[in-house]
Amino acid sequence: MNEMRLATFNLENLDWSPGRPEAFARRRAALLPLLDDIDADILCLQEIDAQKTSKHGPRAYLALDRLFDGTRYAGFHRFTSLRPGADTPADVHNLAILSRWPIRIRRQIHHEIVPPWPWPPPRDGDVTPPPIAIGWDRPMLYAAVELPDGRLLHVVNLHLRAPRPVPVPTARGEGSSRALIEGQFVAALKREGQALEARLFAETIFDAEPDALLAICGDFNADEHDAPTRLLRGGRDQGEDAPRALLALEERVAPASRYTVIHAGRPTLIDHILASHALAAMWRSTAILNAGLQDEFYAKDPIDGSLHAPVMAMFEISG
């Protein structure tokens, strides 16, 4: 049997500093066993910081290079995100797709389908607040990977905004209850708006290839019942038999182990691998590597490893 192992892993602000080599060494020592256990052929990563090559130099993926130096992943094909509108990475929260096999198409998507828009906050007494721009915090990545049998696997790597209030200026001040309420609403618009863009992008793939092998992977900052996940799955309310519905492969793990983050003692599933029907037909197993996962609410800096558990799905392929 020929296997393909597809995984997603939030690396929790992976960083490196020449002044703190011991801190990075501890993180690397905690992350590498997980990455070895995943043994991925295609790996979607989130929360990768980029470091300056010199005091005034551009940012580059120095931490990522050091993480994979000397490992099986060092020779993988790599596609990484850029700050929208720039030719260098953002300082934090970048994305990467690594693949054992060639990446034939690479595309960064940021407001290509759903444009940014202004949201006018409601009046507060005699004050009319200025509009607030609704835009995504970061792009998403799309890669078409050529499998050994010549077929293309379409992979989307996505990291949606966390559901924390966005700072919103109001006449009552940023710390007021009104500002927090409106900020929570703006965060929802950002999170669900980008989920909509990812799902509409998936629709374009299905338009061109109805039986596409498609996976949407990443940190959705949403559990299986939240609106972003429902948007991305598409057709859930019609049932999983809907032709373009995406199937949640992480939900095939036993309930007791079905979580990727622990928050204040509550296990939560916010990292996902969604698969098209054609890809799910090749599925054989799913694993969530959450043994020993720290509770993110109580964890103290510096964090060793990650506060997210990686998710890996294994498929049977030909060729």
- Higher pLDDT: 319 or 99? It is 99
The beta-strand segments (E) located in the chain are 2-14, 42-48, 51-52, 59-60, 77-80, 94-99, 103-109, 117-119, 132-134, 140-146, 152-159, 213-219, 247-248, 261-263, 266-268, 271-275, 283-288, 311-317
| Average pLDDT value over all residues in the chain | 94
How confident is the model over 17-44, as pLDDT tens digits? 988 889 999 999 999 999 999 999 999 9
> Residue 246 in contact with residue 198, Cβ under 8 Å?
no
Strands 42-48 and 2-14: parallel
Which position has the token pair 């197993």? 285
pLDDT at 249 over 60: yes
CATH number of 2-317: 3.60.10.10
pLDDT at 319 over 70: no
pLDDT of residue 304: 87
pLDDT of residue 57: 87
Which position has the token pair 């060494």? 25
The pLDDT confidence band at residue 318, using thresholds 50, 70 and 90, is confident
pTM of the predicted structure, to 2 decimals: 0.95
How confident is the model over 158-207, as pLDDT tens digits? 999 999 998 887 767 777 888 899 999 999 999 999 999 999 999 999 99
Q: How far is CA 263 from CA 2, 30, 208, 294, 295, in A?
A: 38, 20, 41, 9, 6
pLDDT > 70 fraction of the chain, expressed in percent and rounded: 97
Return all residues near 154 (Cβ < 8 A) that are at least 6 apart.
Answer: 142, 143, 144, 205, 212, 213, 214, 215
> Residue 285 in contact with residue 299, Cβ under 8 Å?
no
pLDDT of residue 175: 73
> Residue 38 in contact with residue 73, Cβ under 8 Å?
no
Q: Give domain limits for the chain.
A: 2-317
pLDDT of residue 72: 95
pLDDT of residue 49: 97
Helix (H, G, I), strand (E, B) or coil at 72: helix
Q: Count each helix (H run) and each strand (E run) in the chain, helices first.
A: 5, 18
> Residue 212 in contact with residue 155, Cβ under 8 Å?
no
Q: Which residues pair with 14 in a beta bridge?
A: 48
Q: What is the DSSP annotation of 180-241?
A: HHHHHHHHHHHHHHHHHHHHHHHHHHHHH-TT-EEEEEEE-SS-TTSHHHHHHH-SGGG-TT
List the 42-48 sheet strands across, edge first.
77-80, 94-99, 42-48, 2-14, 311-317, 283-288
pLDDT at 4 over 90: yes
